[in-house]
Chain A
Amino acid sequence: MTTSSDVITPGREAAASSGGRDPSLPLLIAGIVLMVISIGLLFTGSAADPARPFLGYLVAVTFWASILIGMLFLVMVWWLFDAGWSVIIRRQLEHFLAAFPVIGVVMVPLVALGVAGSDAVAWTWMNLDAEVAGAGVTVAEDVLYLHKAPYLNTTFFVLRFILIIGVWVGLAHLLRQWSFRMDETGDHKYVHWSRRLSALGMFVLAMVTTMASVDWFMSLNFHWFSTMFGVWFFSASMRAALSATVLVLFWQASRDDGTGLKGIVKPAHFYLIGCIMLAFTVFWAYISFSQYFLIYNANIPEETFWYNIREKNPDGALNSWWWVSMVLMFLHFFVPFIYLLFYKCKFGARLKFIAVWILAIHLLDIYFNVLPQKLPSDANILGYEVRQFIPGLTDVTVFLGVGALVLWAFVRSTRRHRPIPVRDPRIHESLTCHE
């Protein structure tokens, strides 16, 4: 192992001496104000669909949480493989990992509302007296619920919620602190600690992330089950995280004010990230299609209804989700896949373009997987309506609010710690990165 030295000097001192106000403070204030408004908006659902603001809130939190989860996976994968090229990128992700407690905090109102037993909660199984749409029974009488009750009950749900957030925050905190301490002491024992933690943490993170996707999203239609759902959420998170990483790297590479990375990020870094983006575009399509394919082939009503409500209304007419699914197929897979095959599209403005594109449609992907539910209705003989794809006000306020808080945590971390891990043993490999 090579020994390293301070390859560049800017860091906390330079950042602190650049003076001026703390730019992260307005983000914190904006985030808190927007989240307070959003919590108020949770109770503004219509009589026919009281849980719609709740789901908007969940979709928006999930968008930001998925970016952070993907970044945590990336950091741990890079530790596991002892990657050299990615060291300076890893530090940018470590700054982002500071935002995990934000996700825990903003999820608390949803969980609290579920425990309190409100109509505004979209996890319908939490309210045992609620009518199961289209089944003509309450949740407490529903035979499929009763079989799942040992797992799907509020107490166990809250315990799992604490475990999920605890693992995310804990892993992120340890990996951050060890990396920052290596900046100060230059002691390479932190490399070995991080690699060992990643080896174990990879399994734990995969399990709690699957648990989160089952608890928070799959249980919205608690009759339904898919063993691929957790992997879908992982693959979608990786795409979101890689796209966000590209945008952050461009922003960092455009500045040389002490916390920026102008001249340090090389075109090869973007090219290599672009290659992983291509791989995960294929992986996302593979997982999403496989889930559909298995359910289509088996053709069991218990499973197919989940896709049926995403295609047709009870009267058989194509609904808004059919259009969303077409967009996902062609614009979330086909276009980015063909685009990223080209060498020149993995650099500069072209890569920035597809990163924004993927992030935007990633949000639509979350809508598609979270929002549709059967709503009780007397309008037809089947006894349900499908919630359609119509954006709501809560979606916007939570999206901006959580976004502001996540960026606040990121900016705060960039001002407190060095922009690249100057004493990482592989920092030279990253600074001289080539294809």
Chain B
Amino acid sequence: MDTSNTASSPAARKPYGMLALFDSAPGIYEAARTVREAGYSRWDALTPFPVHGLDGAMGLGRSKVPVFVFIGGVIGFFVGMWLAWWMGYYNYPLIVGGKPYFSPIFPFPVAYELTILLAAFGALGGMFVCNRLPMHNHPVFNYEKFRHLTDDMFAVVIEAEDPLYDAEGTRTFLEELGPVEVTALYDDEEDDA
């Protein structure tokens, strides 16, 4: 828009969302439930440690990572079997130890190990995909009290991309939850780019 140094002007910065800071685990738990019931969909809770039941209060479903693990495992099993069949039966048939060229029994350890290996790759890759990693920066890092979120404070962030988001309305809504403070966050990185 313009090349002058206007990063300090809120009007010129891309809004990321609204953050409400809480100082207790019950506070964040109740807040999460209220935000979910209000119908927001693009939001998250930030806590320094796992709060039991918070995923339920947020209405989060089960992780999708097991699907990646399962697909990885199935591919690994069949690749292992195919490897033994292709080498021992098709490409270079050779009798070893009086055994048939191919049988599902003797290559089983190979298939089994590849099942585990590719299932583990599936778990790692699936975790990256589900968490949208790698992500080298996040607008929440710009929050000046961010270090408290790794120590003794909790926060709810509602993203500006949420269909229900409205700068004034969301701020009022969050202030009614009894937070320590409510702050607007800006996505400075995109602005710099």
* Beyond A434-B52, A434-B53, 8 additional pairs, beta carbon < 8 A: A292-B105, A293-B108, A296-B105, A297-B97, A299-B97, A299-B98, A341-B66, A341-B70
- Give A372 to B151 CA distance when docked, in angstroms: 65
With an 8 A cutoff between CB atoms, is B62 at the interface?
yes
Residues in B neighbouring A297, C-beta threshold 8 A: 97, 106
With an 8 A cutoff between CB atoms, is A343 at the interface?
yes
Residues in B neighbouring A323, C-beta threshold 8 A: none
Binding site for A on B (CB under 8 A): 52-53, 62, 66, 70, 97-98, 105-106, 108-109
- Give A289 to B70 CA distance when docked, in angstroms: 22
Binding site for B on A (CB under 8 A): 289, 292-293, 296-297, 299, 341, 343, 434
Query: Contact between B52 and A296 (Cβ–Cβ < 8 Å)?
Result: no
Contact of A289 among B66, B97, B108 (CB under 8 A): B108
Residues in A neighbouring B108, C-beta threshold 8 A: 289, 293
- Give A425 to B16 CA distance when docked, in angstroms: 49
- Give A341 to B74 CA distance when docked, in angstroms: 13
Closest Cβ–Cβ distance, residue A250 to chain B (whole Å): 24
Closest Cβ–Cβ distance, residue A410 to chain B (whole Å): 34
Residues in B neighbouring A299, C-beta threshold 8 A: 97-98
- Give A127 to B66 CA distance when docked, in angstroms: 56
Query: Contact between A296 and B62 (Cβ–Cβ < 8 Å)?
Result: no
Residues in B neighbouring A434, C-beta threshold 8 A: 52-53
Question: Which residue of the partner chain B has the closest CB to A434?
Answer: B52
18 pairs from A and B in contact (CB 8 Å cutoff)? A289-B108, A292-B105, A293-B105, A293-B106, A293-B108, A293-B109, A296-B105, A296-B106, A297-B97, A297-B106, A299-B97, A299-B98, A341-B66, A341-B70, A343-B62, A343-B66, A434-B52, A434-B53
Residues in B neighbouring A343, C-beta threshold 8 A: 62, 66
- Give A289 to B108 CA distance when docked, in angstroms: 9
- Give A296 to B103 CA distance when docked, in angstroms: 12
Residues in B neighbouring A289, C-beta threshold 8 A: 108
Closest Cβ–Cβ distance, residue B68 to chain A (whole Å): 13
Question: Which residue of the partner chain A has the closest CB to B70?
Answer: A341
Question: Which residue of the partner chain A has the closest CB to B106?
Answer: A297
Residues in A neighbouring B98, C-beta threshold 8 A: 299
Closest Cβ–Cβ distance, residue A340 to chain B (whole Å): 12
Question: Which residue of the partner chain B has the closest CB to A286?
Answer: B112
- Give A299 to B96 CA distance when docked, in angstroms: 13
- Give A293 to B106 CA distance when docked, in angstroms: 7
Closest Cβ–Cβ distance, residue B124 to chain A (whole Å): 19
- Give A91 to B44 CA distance when docked, in angstroms: 42
Residues in A neighbouring B105, C-beta threshold 8 A: 292-293, 296
- Give A269 to B101 CA distance when docked, in angstroms: 48
Closest Cβ–Cβ distance, residue B16 to chain A (whole Å): 33
- Give A296 to B97 CA distance when docked, in angstroms: 11
Residues in A neighbouring B52, C-beta threshold 8 A: 434
- Give A343 to B66 CA distance when docked, in angstroms: 10
Closest Cβ–Cβ distance, residue B56 to chain A (whole Å): 10
Closest Cβ–Cβ distance, residue A56 to chain B (whole Å): 32
Closest Cβ–Cβ distance, residue A432 to chain B (whole Å): 10
Residues in A neighbouring B66, C-beta threshold 8 A: 341, 343
> Which 10 A-B pairs rank lowest in CB-CB distance, beginning with the nearest?
A296-B105, A343-B62, A434-B52, A293-B105, A293-B108, A297-B106, A299-B98, A289-B108, A341-B70, A297-B97
- Give A434 to B106 CA distance when docked, in angstroms: 42
- Give A296 to B99 CA distance when docked, in angstroms: 10
- Give A341 to B109 CA distance when docked, in angstroms: 21
Closest Cβ–Cβ distance, residue A302 to chain B (whole Å): 17
Question: Which residue of the partner chain B has the closest CB to A435?
Answer: B52
Closest Cβ–Cβ distance, residue A350 to chain B (whole Å): 15
Question: Which residue of the partner chain A has the closest CB to B69?
Answer: A341
Closest Cβ–Cβ distance, residue A174 to chain B (whole Å): 36
Closest Cβ–Cβ distance, residue B138 to chain A (whole Å): 28
- Give A434 to B54 CA distance when docked, in angstroms: 13
- Give A225 to B77 CA distance when docked, in angstroms: 31
Question: Which residue of the partner chain A has the closest CB to B109?
Answer: A293
Closest Cβ–Cβ distance, residue A414 to chain B (whole Å): 32
Question: Which residue of the partner chain A has the closest CB to B52?
Answer: A434
Closest Cβ–Cβ distance, residue B114 to chain A (whole Å): 16
- Give A393 to B76 CA distance when docked, in angstroms: 47
Question: Which residue of the partner chain B has the closest CB to A344?
Answer: B62
- Give A343 to B67 CA distance when docked, in angstroms: 12
Closest Cβ–Cβ distance, residue A237 to chain B (whole Å): 24
Question: Which residue of the partner chain B has the closest CB to A342?
Answer: B66
Question: Which residue of the partner chain A has the closest CB to B62?
Answer: A343
Residues in B neighbouring A296, C-beta threshold 8 A: 105-106
Closest Cβ–Cβ distance, residue A357 to chain B (whole Å): 21
- Give A341 to B52 CA distance when docked, in angstroms: 23
Question: Which residue of the partner chain A has the closest CB to B63?
Answer: A343
- Give A343 to B106 CA distance when docked, in angstroms: 32
Residues in A neighbouring B97, C-beta threshold 8 A: 297, 299
Residues in A neighbouring B106, C-beta threshold 8 A: 293, 296-297
- Give A302 to B112 CA distance when docked, in angstroms: 28
Residues in A neighbouring B53, C-beta threshold 8 A: 434
Closest Cβ–Cβ distance, residue A245 to chain B (whole Å): 25
Question: Which residue of the partner chain A has the closest CB to B105?
Answer: A296
Closest Cβ–Cβ distance, residue B143 to chain A (whole Å): 31
Closest Cβ–Cβ distance, residue A345 to chain B (whole Å): 13
